[in-house]
Structure 1
Amino acid sequence: MTTAETEFADVLEAVRGVVPTLRENGRQAEQQRWIPEENLQLLDKAGVFRLATERRHGGLDASLAQQVEVLAEIARGCPSTGWVSAVWLASSWVARGHSPEAKEEIFATPSVRVSGVFSPVPTATLTPVDGGYLLNGTWKFNTGCRGADWNGMSATLTLPDGTAEEMATIVPISEFEFADDWHVSSVAATGSSTTTAKDVFVPTHRVQKLGVVMAGVESRSQPGRTDRDYSLGEFAVAQAVGVFLGIAQGALELFLERLPGRGIAYTAWSKQSEHPYTQIQVGTVAAKIAAARGLSAEVNDLVQRRADEGVELSVVEKGKVRGDSAYAMQLTREAVEILYNASGATGIQLSVPLQRFHRDIQGLSLHGLSLLSTNMEIYGRALLGLDADGAF
């Protein structure tokens, strides 16, 4: 193996080794509405937060497929920890679209954690001042902000001619205020609080056109930009599938662990595993997970090939990435639902991790970039030769 392959194998092995601890800490994570420090330290030591950093800055520059594989292992232990890791890695990749000067600051520590929100925020603004801008705004659903080093946020800059342009900023997380408003029934440990900036000064070199940091091949001409040419929308959706795969695989493992000795209440079946319907359910779940892995692998290969070739994904290919990724997520959600419904009344106890995996994958399925209907509409429009008519 090459040095890069060996380094990645070491990260993957280390992450697999801490899955039991991540799973054991799951209930504590949910109760405190943030990932336990032990989880973060274990993943940091494993090298997870170096995966999206360029090698020239001490990172591993892992491929999309490699990131998906690691995220699946993390989520197999703790869905919330997996989701936060995915957001930090995706946002770290976005940070690579900033100026060389900004990147020297951001990646001074290769194992960097970057959170961010790039959804439209009409109230977020940039005001020009000497040497930079003043950033003001409030951003909801800022996943991982409570443990991040940097925060990448979108904001609107009004140009002298009165037109508006969407910009991307990157700011130390310490410059933001956090609201204690993350009270949710799903992925509670992601700490996705609302963050606010009040007259935060951002130097010019840490402000970039939003289209540049989100773009694919058209960003290659940007000074200092040498990395893989992903487009953020397709990269983020394809990468997120890893979390869903991990949740489904973890749920299957948890179900099988509880099965020995369990009967079916109010029936003559003393061993649930001997009932044909249970056998059908487990087989169906395994097949759904395998099908989702197959879709994910095909998408990852397509995105990676186009990125490494420096060729922009076609409209239909972008639609395929969105559609196939969303369908893979749908399959994993269905798999977990089957397992939850087969777990009996005792499965609702908070001490049974499977119920948390079920709630978490339900919540993540509602994310705007995960939603099946949205992504299938985009895919269908692309196949029919119509404009995608959507963000990202």
Structure 2
Amino acid sequence: MQNLIQKMPDTAPQDTVAHLAALLPTLRDRGEETERIGRLPATTIADFEDAGVFGSLVPQVNGGSEVSLQTYMDMIVEIGRGDGSAAWTAGILSGAAWMVAMLFPRDVAQEVLAAPHSRVATVLSPRSIEAHEVGGGIWIEHGVWNFNSGAHNAQWNLLGFPLKNHQGLPEILTVLLPIHECKLLNDWDTFGLRGSGSTSVEVEDVFVPRSHLASLSAVMKGDFQSVHLDAVPLYRLPLVPFLATKLLFPSLGMAKAALELALASASRRGIPFTVYAKQDEAAVTHVQMAESSAKIDAAEQILRNSVKALLSHADGSSPMDIPTRTRLMRDAGYVNKLLWESIDALATSSGSAFAKKDNLLGRLWRDAKVASLHGALTPTTNFELAGRVQSHKDPQSWFL
């Protein structure tokens, strides 16, 4: 297994992360526009295409750069330091391209991913669904999926839903659709992550051929259609723990940016109704900054440990066991808690200027709060999953 990890290609240019870091001022300057239009501007899409963001997790056989998971994490974190919505969207679109590669046979993946800068959106759980098997595939009579992040910037959509198989047992399926077969409902009107464009989508009277249908239930048991990638660990990562871990990369970037901004402003502002002409002269400020930075550092270390754990179970010899999967979900919930607590504390310490609509720390706070609400990152839910397994009980989750 160690040899497999060492041989994992990382063909992204050595300066890819530095390239994205250099975009930080530009992404911040575009923040207001990104929020206003409710999606990534064409200029940001072009910048990410130039940096190879959308092809970062695409296999080399499909023309992608197939970067290491560690490099991918660093890329999304750097984008998060510039703009939360941009990082969230970049993470969703690149992650969904990875899903297409690992879920489907080579010819289907090639159809979707071979086009330059192909972008795929995804939602794994529907709000409502009416679908049934027909000859040669699935007929979706009507379905609605909430929170389809990046759909405005995508050419394809990967949608999941439960359906009883021919044995009458529930199975989690995904269908791959051109985005034009999905009606974007444009109902994403939030106080944070507005630029992710996480609209609901509706699908009505659409036939999906069997070639564009994959079983998440099978993948979670180690049964992959993408047999041509069996020797590439990146495409044998445990699906749901990886997706939950990946969702936290933007928040880590936002937390790092919040700390930088708070430290910078503390040397310029005083504390009203005290003797402190500068906030950074006060002991309470030292405590707040140190505690927040400790939480951010701890969160980053846990995430990097999770990345190592994911790779260590990605040789395809056997699926990751349930205790390890639930531990990674527990850790994702805890990292979510740590990062939100750090950003909230830094914002609270920043004074009344934080309330201004154009305050950058305020935007980070809003984006981070909405990011923290994702169902896969809910601390109490994930703690319960792990606690049930630790107590030798069934986790009661279809996604594990």
What's the TM-score once normalised by structure 2's chain length? 0.90
Question: SS of 2:143's equivalent?
Answer: strand
1:19 positional shift: 1.5
1:352 maps onto 2:356 in alignment: no
Taking the aligned partners of 1:231 and 1:163, their CA distance within structure 2 comes to 22
1:36 maps onto 2:41 in alignment: yes
Q: Is the 8 A contact 1:99 1:206 kept in 2?
A: no
Question: Identity of aligned pairs, percent?
Answer: 27
Q: Is the 8 A contact 2:173 2:213 kept in 1?
A: yes
Q: CA RMSD in A?
A: 2.3
Taking the aligned partners of 1:283 and 1:164, their CA distance within structure 2 comes to 49
Other-structure match for 1:219 = 223
- CA distances 1:136-180 after superposition (whole Å, capped 9, x unpaired): 311111111000111011245566677664421101112211112
Other-structure match for 1:295 = 302
Q: CA distance change for structure 1 residues 6 and 140 in 2, over 3 Å: closer, same or farther?
A: closer
Q: CA distance change for structure 1 residues 367 and 200 in 2, over 3 Å: closer, same or farther?
A: same
Other-structure match for 1:313 = 320
Taking the aligned partners of 2:275 and 2:85, their CA distance within structure 1 comes to 39
One of 291, 298, 312 as aligned partner of 1:284: 291
Other-structure match for 1:50 = 55
Other-structure match for 1:259 = 266
Other-structure match for 1:235 = 242
Taking the aligned partners of 2:344 and 2:98, their CA distance within structure 1 comes to 33
The one-letter code of the counterpart of 1:175 is: E
The one-letter code of the counterpart of 1:94 is: M
Q: Is the 8 A contact 1:117 1:153 kept in 2?
A: yes
1:154 maps onto 2:160 in alignment: yes
Q: Is the 8 A contact 1:27 1:353 kept in 2?
A: no
Structure 1, unpaired ranges of 5+: none
Residues 156-235 of structure 1 aligned to structure 2 (within 5 Å): 165-212=171-218, 214-215=219-220, 218-220=222-224, 223-226=227-230, 227=232, 228-235=235-242
Q: Is the 8 A contact 1:182 1:191 kept in 2?
A: yes
Q: Is the 8 A contact 1:215 1:230 kept in 2?
A: no
- CA distances 1:302-329 after superposition (whole Å, capped 9, x unpaired): 1111113633222221121111122112
Aligned residues: 389
The one-letter code of the counterpart of 1:305 is: S
Structure 2, unpaired ranges of 5+: 1-5
1:71 maps onto 2:52 in alignment: no
Question: SS of 1:59's equivalent?
Answer: coil
Other-structure match for 1:21 = 26
Greater Cα offset, 232-241 or 96-105: 96-105
1:384 positional shift: 2.0
Q: Is the 8 A contact 2:121 2:158 kept in 1?
A: yes
Greater Cα offset, 19-28 or 330-339: 19-28
Q: CA distance change for structure 1 residues 164 and 260 in 2, over 3 Å: closer, same or farther?
A: closer
Taking the aligned partners of 1:161 and 1:296, their CA distance within structure 2 comes to 39
Taking the aligned partners of 1:234 and 1:333, their CA distance within structure 2 comes to 20
Question: SS of 2:174's equivalent?
Answer: strand
Taking the aligned partners of 1:310 and 1:159, their CA distance within structure 2 comes to 26
Q: Is the 8 A contact 2:10 2:66 kept in 1?
A: no
- CA distances 1:49-89 after superposition (whole Å, capped 9, x unpaired): 11110111111222332222111111111111111111112
Taking the aligned partners of 2:21 and 2:266, their CA distance within structure 1 comes to 23
Taking the aligned partners of 2:386 and 2:351, their CA distance within structure 1 comes to 38
Q: Is the 8 A contact 1:124 1:155 kept in 2?
A: no
Greater Cα offset, 13-22 or 106-115: 106-115
Taking the aligned partners of 2:148 and 2:243, their CA distance within structure 1 comes to 15
Other-structure match for 1:134 = 139
Q: CA distance change for structure 1 residues 66 and 167 in 2, over 3 Å: closer, same or farther?
A: same
Taking the aligned partners of 1:230 and 1:3, their CA distance within structure 2 comes to 13
Q: CA distance change for structure 1 residues 3 and 132 in 2, over 3 Å: closer, same or farther?
A: closer
Q: CA distance change for structure 1 residues 6 and 225 in 2, over 3 Å: closer, same or farther?
A: closer
- CA distances 1:271-319 after superposition (whole Å, capped 9, x unpaired): 1111111111111111111111111111110111111363322222112
1:215 positional shift: 2.5
Q: CA distance change for structure 1 residues 5 and 123 in 2, over 3 Å: closer, same or farther?
A: closer
1:382 positional shift: 2.0
Taking the aligned partners of 2:17 and 2:387, their CA distance within structure 1 comes to 36
Taking the aligned partners of 2:172 and 2:398, their CA distance within structure 1 comes to 13
The one-letter code of the counterpart of 1:347 is: F
The one-letter code of the counterpart of 2:208 is: V
Q: Is the 8 A contact 1:125 1:155 kept in 2?
A: no
One of 99, 108, 116 as aligned partner of 2:122: 116
Taking the aligned partners of 1:211 and 1:168, their CA distance within structure 2 comes to 10
Taking the aligned partners of 1:223 and 1:183, their CA distance within structure 2 comes to 41
1:31 positional shift: 2.1
Q: Is the 8 A contact 2:145 2:202 kept in 1?
A: yes
Taking the aligned partners of 1:176 and 1:254, their CA distance within structure 2 comes to 40
Q: Is the 8 A contact 1:101 1:205 kept in 2?
A: no
Q: Is the 8 A contact 1:150 1:171 kept in 2?
A: yes
Question: SS of 2:271's equivalent?
Answer: coil
Q: Is the 8 A contact 2:126 2:145 kept in 1?
A: no
1:35 positional shift: 1.8
The one-letter code of the counterpart of 1:73 is: E
